[in-house]
Chain A
Amino acid sequence: MKSILTDRQLAITIDRLSHQLIENHPQFENTVLIGLQPRGIYLSDRINNKLQTLLPGVKVPYGRLDITFYRDDYKSGKGLHTPNETDIDFSIDNKHVVLVDDVLYTGRTIRSAMDAMLDFGRPATVELLVLIDRRFSRELPIQPDYTGRTIDAIITEKVRVLWKERDGKDEVVLIA
């Protein structure tokens, strides 16, 4: 098991990603943040909290999206996924949507997320923010706009993002 980001590096990375978001969306006037269930929401929660600190008085619309019913492996025999809660209490029509997930791997989750999101309205633009980009592993033409760390891992390796809220500590590790 190899550490990719320590807790300190993870905090700095989230800090940087939040600043990058503000560079492109200064007051979040027409921009909304959507975290992907189940694991992307830990990152989006952190970024949302950071944005509250960096932009006092600005209310960033923030939702959580579950993509279970939009997956393309329903009949693949890999086990049925338990759905998680979707909570988007605002319209995304004509909004700039920033999708947030922890690890970008094959791109299939993001493909499903875009399908799911379109059932809530027609956004003006969609950007993708990920903590870890496993480049060279893509099965669909999907690329992130904001990346915490890019890694080249072989297919048998697994990236695991640990969060204090759930796992007791903050760290990103590569499991061989």
Chain B
Amino acid sequence: MSLSAKHLLGIRDLKRSDIELIFQTADQFKEVLQRPIKKVPTLRDTTIVNVFFENSTRTRISFELAEKRLGADVVNFSASGSSVSKGETLIDTVNNILSMKVDLVVMRHSATGAPHFLSKHINVPIVNAGDGINEHPTQALLDAFSIRERLGSVEGKKVAICGDIMHSRVALSNIYCLKKLGAEVTVAGPPTLIPKYIAEALGVNVTYDIREALNWCDVANILRIQLERQNMPLFSSLREYSLAYGVNRALLDSLQKEIVIMHPGPINRGVELSSDVADSGQSIILDQVENGVATRMAVLYLLARKEGAKE
């Protein structure tokens, strides 16, 4: 029983059995998180460094909590205020950190492929905490885990991923993960924010009509408009986006059924999602955050041993 990959660089590299193993392990960590003492000593001899070259709140805190609740020693590194601003290369930065006897690296980087590049040069497991517009594997795992928790399983479910598909690493990882687990996926959003050949390339349905997507799905994963990744305007204004693609109470009430609402955070309240929907009983946004710690504990538990293990 072990993951087939040494690193977690993306969901694309995982097998369905890997994902199921992570969920099975996360189930037990979720139980640990309900205990009076929410901590186990499994990784007490392991040092993990969180290398964040890009801003993050929940992902970094979630990883840090997961690491601490596994009993690991944790070192945090953020690019701002570090020697990176003096021109140090990625490999040099990470190798310097590893020389201090670190066993596992969790990395976020604004450049697509940065963890893949690093994995060819260093010998310890790497967990990708988001690379550019490529993948955010642990977010996809916790999303699928939350769907499984709410609806019993992912297999056969209809999931709509709505919003800025083009710039979203969450969208790509979610598509890989949900498809591997047997779900049907539709992406919905403005034509300018949906890659042209996504249907052929990834086997998803595409619609430019949010109402059609919501009417079809069991679960809607509403994504954030990533203005920071857009070099040129891809829609006229946030107000117009909100009117055409925002999910609000009136829109949900007009559907024939009750769907589950997800959002990877942080929410632009009033843009892609209205506050009353985000805070309603239909929303599992806070469950996603809670499940993030358990799924990340599972990933770390399954990977941390790879270093030095006779396999």
- Mark A residues whose CB is within 8 Å of B: 66, 68-71, 74-75, 77, 79-86, 115-116, 119-121
CB pair B40–A80 under 8 Å, yes or no, is no
CB pair A119–B37 under 8 Å, yes or no, is yes
What chain A residues lie within 8 Å of B36 (beta carbons)?
119-121
* Among candidates A66, A70, A77, A85, residue contacting B42 with C-beta atoms closer than 8 Å: A70
C-alpha spacing A116/B1, complex, angstroms: 22
* Among candidates A69, A80, A83, residue contacting B41 with C-beta atoms closer than 8 Å: A69
User: Known contacts being A74-B305, A77-B309, is A83 close to B37, with CB within 8 Å?
Assistant: no
* Among candidates A80, A85, A116, residue contacting B305 with C-beta atoms closer than 8 Å: A80
What chain B residues lie within 8 Å of A83 (beta carbons)?
24-25, 28
C-alpha spacing A52/B302, complex, angstroms: 40
* Among candidates B24, B31, B40, B41, residue contacting A82 with C-beta atoms closer than 8 Å: B24
Q: A69-B301, A85-B31 are in contact. List 15 more A-B contacts (CB 8 A).
A: A69-B28, A69-B32, A69-B40, A71-B42, A74-B305, A75-B305, A77-B309, A79-B1, A80-B2, A83-B28, A86-B31, A86-B32, A115-B41, A119-B35, A120-B35
Indicate whether B81 reaches chain A with its CB closer than 8 angstroms: no
C-alpha spacing A107/B35, complex, angstroms: 25
CB pair A82–B25 under 8 Å, yes or no, is yes
CB pair B302–A80 under 8 Å, yes or no, is yes
17 A-B pairs (CB sep. < 8 Å): A69-B32, A69-B70, A69-B301, A74-B43, A74-B305, A75-B308, A75-B309, A79-B1, A80-B1, A80-B302, A82-B21, A85-B28, A85-B31, A86-B31, A86-B32, A119-B37, A120-B36
CB pair B28–A84 under 8 Å, yes or no, is yes
C-alpha spacing A3/B310, complex, angstroms: 35
Indicate whether B45 reaches chain A with its CB closer than 8 angstroms: yes
The residue in chain A whose Cβ has the minimal distance to the Cβ of B40 is: A69
Interface residue range, chain B:
20 to 34
What chain B residues lie within 8 Å of A84 (beta carbons)?
28
Interface of chain B, main secondary structure:
loop
What chain A residues lie within 8 Å of B2 (beta carbons)?
79-80
- Mark B residues whose CB is within 8 Å of A: 1-2, 21, 24-25, 27-28, 31-32, 35-37, 39-43, 45, 70, 301-302, 305, 308-311
What chain B residues lie within 8 Å of A85 (beta carbons)?
27-28, 31
C-alpha spacing A62/B195, complex, angstroms: 56
What chain B residues lie within 8 Å of A116 (beta carbons)?
40
What chain B residues lie within 8 Å of A66 (beta carbons)?
28
What chain B residues lie within 8 Å of A82 (beta carbons)?
1, 21, 24-25
CB pair B42–A74 under 8 Å, yes or no, is yes
User: Known contacts being A80-B1, A80-B302, A121-B36, is A75 close to B45, with CB within 8 Å?
Assistant: yes
CB pair B40–A70 under 8 Å, yes or no, is yes
Q: A84 to nearest B CB, angstroms?
A: 7
What chain B residues lie within 8 Å of A69 (beta carbons)?
28, 32, 40-42, 70, 301
Q: A79 to nearest B CB, angstroms?
A: 7
Q: B158 to nearest A CB, angstroms?
A: 30
What chain B residues lie within 8 Å of A81 (beta carbons)?
1
What chain A residues lie within 8 Å of B1 (beta carbons)?
79-82
User: Known contacts being A75-B305, A80-B302, is A86 close to B28, with CB within 8 Å?
Assistant: yes
